């Protein structure tokens, strides 16, 4: 089994707000992140797939195909977007880094045919990142 990681970057804005809570509770819970006009991050995404090395190609999977899936499923949808308004998953889920890692996993997992998705890592800043392994 060999693990292959591809890195990508995207920039997006978001804000944290739970409509079930009062405005005061939202402000207390989420602090500055509750500003309804949003704020942004340069996200770094690391996608790790795993599988046996194909004896003919020497690849775990075709990197061009992985890049194409990442571009189509993640970057086209999220890069330079306001996550709360423009990405359907976040209409009813708060776009925290945790939920972003889970949403990216859910977008990628059904698209990968030749290798198994192992880990999605999302850096919100160089000092904060979330890993999701598809665990329920």
Partner 1 sequence: MKAHLTRRYRFSASHRLHSAEMSEEENRRVYGKCNNPYGHGHNYALEVTVAGQVDPHTGMVCDLVELDEFVGREVLERFGHENLNYLEAFQRLVPTTENLCVEIYGVLARGFRAATVERVRLEETMMNSFEYCGESRELQIGT
Q: Which residues bind partner 1 (CB under 8 A)?
A: 1, 16, 18, 20, 29-31, 93-99, 101-102, 126-133, 135-136
CB 105 within 8 A of CB 126: no
Of the listed 46, 80, 109, 135, which one is catalytic?
Answer: 80
Nearer to partner 1, 76 or 133 (CB): 133
Query: In angstroms, what is the minimal distance from the CB of 55 to partner 1?
Result: 22
Instruction: Give the three-state DSSP class for 36.
Output: coil
Of the listed 17, 41, 73, 124, which one is catalytic?
Answer: 124
Query: In angstroms, what is the minimal distance from the CB of 68 to partner 1?
Result: 26
Nearer to partner 1, 33 or 112 (CB): 33
CB 87 within 8 A of CB 107: no
**Residue 124: active-site member:** yes
Nearer to partner 1, 99 or 107 (CB): 99
**Residue 80: active-site member:** yes
Cα–Cα distance, 23 to 68 (Å, whole number): 41
Phi, psi of 39 (to 5 degrees): -150, 170
Of the listed 33, 46, 65, 118, which one is catalytic?
Answer: 33
Tell me the C-alpha to C-alpha distance, in Å, between residue 84 and each of 9, 101, 108, 128.
19, 15, 20, 20
The residue written with tokens 């009062």 in the block is 22
Give the active site residues. 33, 80, 124
């Amino acid at each position: 089994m060999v693990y292959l990681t591809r890195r990508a970057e995207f920039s997006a804005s978001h804000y944290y707000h739970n409509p079930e809570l009062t405005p005061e509770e939202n402000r207390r819970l989420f602090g500055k992140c509750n500003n309804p006009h949003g704020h942004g991050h340069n996200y770094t995404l690391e996608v790790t797939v795993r599988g046996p090395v194909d004896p003919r190609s020497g690849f775990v999977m075709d990197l061009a195909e992985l890049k194409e899936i990442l571009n189509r499923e993640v970057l086209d949808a999220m890069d330079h977007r306001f996550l709360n308004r423009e990405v359907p998953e976040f209409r009813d889920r708060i776009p925290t880094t945790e939920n972003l890692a889970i949403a990216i996993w859910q977008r990628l997992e059904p698209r990968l045919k030749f290798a198994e998705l192992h880990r999605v890592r999302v850096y919100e800043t160089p000092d904060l990142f979330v890993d999701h392994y598809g665990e329920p």
